[in-house]
Structure 1
């Protein structure tokens, strides 16, 4: 039986320089090689079908590790707007119907008139709520899916609002320029958090349109979260964008053992890791399915960022990112290139600060580790007698003289006594 990781490896090889893509036409590899602007790859395996008639009843394993009552004791993300720049977000799924703000949505791709996806009612829609791939709907569900009877799945910020922005599709039609436009649209529509679960390996400098768009978002104190990519099977370090831009919180995938998932891209830009294996989320039309990829790790972190934004509205974007990184579960004292500062811990991130009036740092710091014992003091070499040694010597002399004097007095007293006794006898 082919495992998800093996399928991921085969897909990565087929798309050459692009990161792991969702199932695509056979001609995709050739088209990718011919396209100067490397296509945007969706960082999920895209293995499930939809709509799903049955819901997944149990609680997904990533949520089993979270004490939701403690996580939500202060907020569930109400008032926070999260832009999902993806393949669109379906607003028919019952868990997303009240979560999606279609009026603020945008579609940067022309809907396919010959195959509109779910019927004529989708034809011509440009509000970002057409999702023929299902990828963006899964991403949105991890962030803000509402609770529903019959399933244990729920979003981490179930009262946050989703801004749907369609920028990519199953053909990987997304471009760097449209991504820049999508980011600017999210800023204009009042996003507090932007989630981007796709990437490109095309080198992009600080003057590229997308880099400038990211910089504008960060300047508005918007938290930008992006997936690190799924091309990590070869173990090589590689930059992917927009995750590698300064200020972006890049998210790798972790497994059930809090270790890097085999497909997760490693790099110096990785900020944290989050669950990305066997992830349950919503799909277009209704129900849920299971998928794998850093695509679904990023929204897990975006959901935590939404809760932090709701709880601490005055914090800067850098402070929210640092808080997520500082409270992550670490296997070492600092960070590494596989899981960054560690695996995100939602409850720890939302816990009250030790000093209620203090502000969090704007960057994470390594753990201090155990305290070092004091260094041994070297023995002092003295060539002459110290004052203390002199005092001790004189005290010894005095004690000795005192003992002798006591003995002499006592002996004298005994002699005198005995002498008197003898005289009395006579």
Structure 2
């Protein structure tokens, strides 16, 4: 049996991300195009979520894209959807598989924090998300207090959100076992429904985002590395490694990309000491810090949504491939074992794509 799922959850401090239960490519990027209009988006609210500057998010905003018309599924501990930061950001109330009713609550707060990173409003309050015009579809699964395996709830959450229009799925959780120890038959023993649904939805165009995990290992956890065992998932899969707040190196706990290097990307997730995390929304309505690979995954989901709104004629899986192709692979980011395909770069990715991309299945 696999160990319990770990929702890579922050606790209060300046909220430290801990794995609680329910809890050599040398390609060089082209020089950045300086857009004076981008500076108009670099407000105090923008700078409050420090990772936005590292991934050059203001460039895509200046090009007219911030996630409008794109839905992101939040597969997590639910969402406090009544907060002002999420007014107008809820594409569907979602479903609570803990209480078996429409809509969600969030006793833990993890889902609300991830939602803030993805799509908190640009309203001159606190901070705003990467894709501040995107729509969220929040799903709640699992038992907040006990170890769990909730294969059926996860599979149902994915199916529900896909049916409501989500093609980007943020999954800030993973089974706590190295991807190198997973085989297809072993995974089927404990996650049979989820594997079936993942195959189906990837075949229908979905993109799944997972954190590599916070165990300071050289390999990612089971789900981010799953295409090693099930190769057909790769076209719809992204693994995410967490950098320090300033993007200068991997953070203090993040697992490496390892065997997931071909579909793995690096982005700030912050560290767990006070003042070094990423600011986000708390379930109380206040703001606080979160850190780890969970918020890093949420940042990538937000970046996908923003880029999708920039290029609506491209499929979500084309957007995924385009994002992986247009990264910063210079300096430390050339180490693919650690950083996979490199540092996410929305300035580079939001320039006009090659014309052959449009209407075709590859980039």
Choose which of 68, 84, 90 in structure 1 pairs with 2:74.
Answer: 84
Give the CA RMSD over aligned residues: 2.7
Greater Rg over alpha carbons, structure: 1
* Per-residue deviation, 1:251: 0.6
Post-superposition shift, 1:77? 1.2
Q: Decide whether aligned partners of structure 1 residues 48 and 147 sit closer, same or farther in structure 2, where only a CA change above 3 A counts.
A: farther
The Cα shift of 1:359 comes to 0.9
| Cα distance between partner residues in 1 of 2:333 and 2:86 | 39
2:241 to 252, 256, 262: 252
Superposition deviation, residue 128 in structure 1: 4.1
Is it true that 1:268 corresponds to 2:259 in the alignment?
Answer: yes
Please say if 1:70 is aligned against 2:59: yes
TM-score of the pair, normalised by structure 2 = 0.76
Q: 1:150 to 1:77 in 2, by over 3 A?
A: closer
Q: 1:172 to 1:74 in 2, by over 3 A?
A: farther
Q: What is the CA-CA distance between 1:358 and the residue it aligns to?
A: 2.5
Q: Does 1:173 align with 2:155?
A: no
1:217 aligns with 2:201: yes
Residues 1:332 and 1:90: Cα distance change in structure 2 (over 3 Å): same
Q: Indicate whether 1:164 and 2:154 are aligned.
A: no
- Superposed displacement of residue 290, structure 1: 0.2
Q: Does structure 1 residue 182 correspond to structure 2 residue 166?
A: no
**Whole-Å separation in 2 of the counterparts to 1:174 and 1:93:** 30
SS of residue paired to 2:87: coil
- Contact 1:167 1:179 (C-alpha < 8 Å) held by counterparts: yes
Instruction: Give yes or no for contact 1:143–1:302 (8 Å, CA) kept in 2.
Output: yes
Aligned partner of 1:46 in structure 2 is 11
Q: Whose relative contact order is higher, 1 or 2, with alpha carbons under 8 Å and at least 6 apart?
A: 2
1:342 aligns with 2:342: yes
Q: How far is 1:237 from its partner?
A: 2.3
- Work out the CA distance in 2 between the residues paired with 1:185 and 1:313: 23
Q: What TM-score does the superposition give when structure 1 sets the normalisation length?
A: 0.65
Q: Which of 189, 204, 211 is 1:227 aligned to?
A: 211
Indicate the structure with greater strand content: 2
Give 1:68 shift.
4.6
